Chain A
Amino acid sequence: MTKREAVFSKDTENKKLTVTRSFGAPLATVWRAWTESEILDQWWAPKPFKAETKTMDCKSGGHWLYCMVGPEGERHWCKVDYHTVNPESHINSSAGFCDENGTPNLEFPIMHWDKNFKAEGDETKVYIEITFDKEEDMNTIIGMGFKEGFTAGLENLDEYLASH
């Protein structure tokens, strides 16, 4: 399998991050992977974190309440509110941190997500736009990615070293 490249961009002026990536599966399959909790739980959290869904109702007006479980068992709860869900095409939602009952933690920034799914032959392209209310919020989120990404990066390095 060839390594696929994700394209990232950061637009500070519009407080927007974009990520575009194509996947080697038909639209229907990729859509399921982004909208069914049993599948999301298997990939959404970057290793060594694990995602665990509590409740999910992926339709307009529905929500997804899940937690990211860290390597030492620490739990970070997140809630996604789905504003618009157009099957196999588009999802518009807001996401933020919360407690296990879904009560929002307002100390952390809210992210507004807009995802578009397009079939391209046998492949599927996913366009993700994440916008923030404030520029500071964007930097906070990137900074948090720093922490998780760093741990994940080390994990990958471990695997690499073990296999060589």
Chain B
Amino acid sequence: MDAEAAKLIGAGLASIALAGAGVGIGHIFGNYLNGALRNPAAAQGQFGNLLLGFALAEATGLFGMVMAFVILFVF
């Protein structure tokens, strides 16, 4: 296989990491809503944790994106 083609396939494969980030972000917001509707009084106090969890989950997908960029531009 051509090295250039293999690079492009590899970068595409690295983008699969986004699936995990999607599941993670959905999980965090879904569970937050679930908890917030059961106990709306406690919801405000957990908003910081919600954003923290969102940022941490989103980062895993971005690690995949960095891998794709490294494959495309560094090698």
Partners in one complex: no
- Report which B residues bind A (CB closer than 8 A): none
- Report which A residues bind B (CB closer than 8 A): none
